[in-house]
Amino acid sequence: QVQLVESGGGVVQPGRSLRLSCAASGFTFSSYGMHWVRQAPGKGLEWLAVIWYDGSNKYYADSVKGRFTISRDNSKNTLYMQINSLRAEDTAVYYCARDAAMGPRGFFDYWGQGTLVTVSS
Amino acid sequence: DIQMTQSPSTLSASVGDRVTITCRASQSISSWLAWYQQKPGKAPKLLIYQASSLESGVPSRFSGSGSGTEFTLTISSLQPDDFATYYCQQYNSYSLGLTFGGGTKVEIK
């Protein structure tokens, strides 16, 4: 069965960097586009970034462009998100999500359980 | 950016009720709209994609309709498991970004 397991979250000081990981299993990871979505405590969902199945294309939300970098290692079945210059408003649960196709199509058929990032001094 | 506006933000209903949630886009998104259900502490679950296509395994009491800028999610007969928060999401264009609506919490009346 499809499994996505995020890791790398925790309490981080403002201005520091963090790399989140998402380990995928149960499907051919290299055949699917992948996304990161976050949810601040008690708030709604915010799409952050997408990466094509082969890493050839990446798109970001305007709110994180320049600070966040999505990447993947298909040999390790792992998706990453590098977050630099962390701010208090980056505090959220970060989800990785599988796109419905390699294209990718732009909606998410499987989600991980999320990893909480708390930015605080 | 394309803005997505959901209404209502909260809805109180009883088991067996027919429930309708509306999602409006700030510009036309054709039928590039998905609906998700999220329960507290859990990841969202895909219900509907391309405005009206039911995801595999999702009960048929869920349905979606609409195109252009106005969309609806309907639950034909609300079940106890359906009390949750529902989000719409547009996927019209990566260059404009993907965006979610603000969510609709369906509560027990």
Instruction: Name the region of B51 (left: φ>0; alpha: ψ -120 to 50; beta: rest).
Output: left
A29 touching B, CB under 8 A? Answer: no
- Strand segments, DSSP code E, in chain B are 4-7, 10-13, 19-25, 33-38, 45-49, 53-54, 62-67, 70-75, 85-90, 99-100, 104-108
CA distance B64 to B3: 19
What is the pLDDT at residue A86?
97
pLDDT tens for each residue of B91-101: 998 888 999 99
pLDDT tens digits in sequence order for chain A, 121 residues long: 999 999 999 999 999 999 999 999 999 999 999 999 999 999 999 999 999 999 999 999 999 999 999 999 999 999 999 999 999 999 999 999 999 976 788 999 999 999 999 999 9
Q: What percent of chain B has pLDDT over 90?
A: 94
Nearest to B32 among A45, A62, A106 (CB): A106
Nearest to A47 among B55, B95, B100 (CB): B100
Cβ-based contacts of A47 with chain B (< 8 Å): 89, 97-100
What is the pLDDT at residue B96?
84
A109 touching B, CB under 8 A? Answer: yes
A65 touching B, CB under 8 A? Answer: no
B13 touching A, CB under 8 A? Answer: no
Mean pLDDT of B8-31: 97
Mean pLDDT of B67-88: 97
Which residue in B86, B91, B104 has the most chain A C-beta atoms within 10 A of its own C-beta, making it the best mutation to test that interface?
B91
